[in-house]
Structure 1
Amino acid sequence: MNFIALLLTSTCFFSCISAKYHYNQDKDKELKYLLEPLVFAEVSARRGHAAILPCVMRFKPSHYRVKWTKLEPSSRGVENIVLITNGHADKQYGSVGPRAALQRAHDLDVSLRLSDLELEDDGSYRCELINGIEDESVIITLRIEGVVFPYQSQKGRYRFTFFDAKEACAEQDATLATYKQLYRAWTEGLDWCNAGWLSDGTVSYPVLHPRPACGGDLLSGIRSYGPRHKTRENYDAFCFTSTSKGSVFFIEGQLNFAEAERACRRDGAGLAKTGQIYSSWRFQQLDRCDGGWLEDGSVRFPIINPREHCGGIAEPGVRSFGFPSKSMRLYGAYCYR
């Protein structure tokens, strides 16, 4: 990585650390009732697990309410309230509400517990103590641990509108990635030349190694096209997935697509989705040199330990043979159960 890219990464790192400790909406105002969560400002968890977002009072005012709100990704014009309590009764709101509850480990604890985490739960949350003119709040980030992968239409490169991209990711057991998720994936080694939609309607692509075929002499980093028209412009997608309840396994053979489907069904499974094979590669260390059919008609294989006679691949990853003719009898099957 060149010096400028390293400087960019360092700048972002220090700005993120600095921002991490600015909890007050009014930064000149010291918190009176709430403790700043200096240790647990970011909480990490995996899909399907539970997470506790800390919020603790120093002491109780005589009359108060505590409101938990999801700040990002935000819904335009709509306050995404998760839970409100007056200290005696709680009320849950929205799609997150049924999975939300206060931890109440002690009398001053108003931490939020989210169970059975979903991909969309990733983001920032505000714990706000409402007490007339002395309202104050702290902000906690919940990061769903996962993996970002680029995804193309079966019809070829740059065929998705924003809404097509969102649907395509959902069909692959994933969601459109956020910019933060793409940035983290870039720091972990994601290098991809094709531009793709992100969840906020912007279009970007991550480059670690600048090269003529990938933007010429531009510096390494996240290259952004900014916000694009969601129905008139077409790009690929960057999808995000996390752990899944099942697992992926491989069936050997020289099968066409229909034969691969039947082989999975005989074992009480179905062809794996792209998000599922990425999840098994990242979290279950799935490692296999053999190309296999997936549910969307693509053929891929996951590599943890690159080695000789394994496609000449130098780095770990999930490799793709694209979308070959479904009548070709050349591949095995990756099944999910």
Structure 2
Amino acid sequence: MQKLVTIFGGSGFLGRYVAQRLAKAGWRVRVAVRRPYEAHFVRMYGAVGQVEPVFANIRSDQSVAAALSGADAVVNCVGILAESGANKFGAVQAEGAARIARLAAAEGCERMVQISAIGADSASDSDYARTKAEGEAGLLEHMPDAVILRPSIMFGAEDEFFNRFAGMARFFPVVPVVGANTRFQPVFVDDVAAAAEVAVHGRVPGGIYELGGPDVETFRELMATMLRVIRRRALILPVPFFAARLLAGALDLGQRATFGIVSNGMLTRDQVRNLARDNVVGDTATGFEAFGISPTAMEAILPGYLWRFRPSGQYSDIQRSARNLKADRGPRSR
């Protein structure tokens, strides 16, 4: 009989990769999301009926329990970068993770995989980082053998990082950067999904694993890499932290003043706090080596999806080859 895994947030950026891998491995996959009618694409990841989107709100015991019914394993990919409406950091990342673990334990789930983040710290002044750590602590009370994955910033075709800045560079001559000297260790989203798959199969012991790619670059260097890939020129403009805090404060105030009607999707004060800290794997942390995975370099992936931001899009390589051919031939003599 096929085993069943429930993936909370299974239609999101990382969740869809986890769902694909587990479906391919033969699991029945229940994709638990707030809007299942927007997640029908996950059905194509497996055979008919193998992958099923269902409704779940991780702020509700009843909803979570229903999504976990009969599950052998659970993966929690739910997280937010900014608060909106009832989706507060504490409710989603701290209470939500603990709720899933408590109800998974009651259901008799064999394994739990939690997606956290590098920088999770219960003493942090960042609500995002603090609630990630609180979620880890809460789930370990109920699922002490859970595997906690802490990735650095993830990249891939659907990411909101490189795609966002590449889109900006396509229309504007300046790319503003908050925390230009902050270091990141970008990790390919499917590598993180591969680690989650290994964990669901029980091939690594419970514990915390920090996941980063082979490249460590500052924010400024990441933007330079992105510009090289999309073959555009733009000024990378470092934004001082004091200016970023003022801007983010004004944007946060605008969201509160409009009761959330105007959402701050640009820059929040909490994001500014996070951008002041390096986001790299710790010197003593256990990482991909425990999973037998060699992380993928950015240069192997970025051109495959950022080509659309090049001046000539899909024809950019053809035009470059034509120019090189013309240059090699040189002027013709008559």
Normalised by the length of structure 1, the TM-score is: 0.28
- The structure with more helix, counted as a fraction of residues: 2
- The structure with more strand, counted as a fraction of residues: 1
**Is the radius of gyration larger for structure 1 or structure 2?**
1
